[in-house]
Structure 1
Amino acid sequence: MGLFDSIPTHMDYQGQKLSEQLFQVLAVTFGVIGFIVGYMFQQMSYMMYILAAGCALGCLLTLPPWPMYRRNPIKWQKPQPEMESSQSQQQQQKGSKKKQK
């Protein structure tokens, strides 16, 4: 399991956007090229092969979390220290007394 733990599996939000845009451009481009080639040769199978090649290329470029999709990591806030339950109860009581006034 140590091998799989060392492989990065995350993608940041900007990387997800880039990946989606890249896949859409590839799908449309290969679809148009496939349609034109299929129309020229009057072979629907040519169109389907070109479209399948575009889908395979798109999957290869967009599904793995390549480093270009991990350039903008999320900056998380630091965790706040937890208060003990007795302190939080005291603060709640003080807050309710202020509301009553």
Structure 2
Amino acid sequence: MDYVQSLVEGKIDFEGQRLTGTFRDYTLIGSAIISFLFGFLSQSLRTTFILLGFSTIVLCAVVVPPWSYYNRHPIKWLPVKVEGKKA
């Protein structure tokens, strides 16, 4: 059960979030351009949407799971400051 919870929890650091955002942006733009060109050259709207859908599914498989390289820079939090009890 702990293994499943660790997979679902999905901890990634801020650097990993930036990396996935940049990768997502460039991949979606690139795949949209390539899909449009292939669809235009083949004169098929179906080809355009199949290529775009396939590239989106592959992108989701790469970006959505919390892979370990998205957590290479974990955050080092300050220790908890314990204050004395006041009467």
* TM-score (norm: length of structure 2): 0.90
Query: What is the alpha-carbon distance in structure 2 between the residues aligned to residue 69 and residue 39 of structure 1?
Result: 36
| Deviation string, structure 1 residues 13-54 (Cα, Å, up to 9, x no partner) | 000010111111111111000000110111011000111111
Tell me how many residue pairs correspond in the alignment: 86
2:38 corresponds to 1:32: no
Counterpart check, 1:54 vs 2:55: yes
Equivalent-residue separation in structure 2 for 1:6 and 1:43 (angstroms) = 43
Q: 1:17 — aligned with what?
A: 18
Q: How far apart are residue 6 of structure 1 and its match?
A: 4.2
Which consecutive unaligned segments of at least 5 residues does structure 1 have? 87-101
Take 1:78 and 1:52, find their aligned partners in 2: how far apart are those partners?
Answer: 46
Aligned pair 1:79/2:71, yes or no?
no
1: CA distance between counterparts of 2:54 and 2:25? 14
Higher relative contact order (CA 8 A, sep 6+): 2
Q: Which moved more, 1:35-44 or 1:7-16?
A: 7-16
What is the distance in 2 between the residues matched to 1:35 and 1:84? 67
Among all aligned residue pairs of Structure 1 and Structure 2, give the percentage whose two residues are the same amino acid.
26
Q: CA deviation at 1:72?
A: 0.4
Larger radius of gyration: 1
Q: Normalising to structure 1: TM-score of the pair?
A: 0.78
Gap runs ≥5 in structure 2:
none
Q: Over aligned residues, Cα RMSD in angstroms?
A: 1.3
SS in 1 for 2:65: coil
Alpha-carbon distance between aligned partners in 2 of 1:74 and 1:3, rounded to the nearest angstrom: 22
SS of 1:16's partner is helix
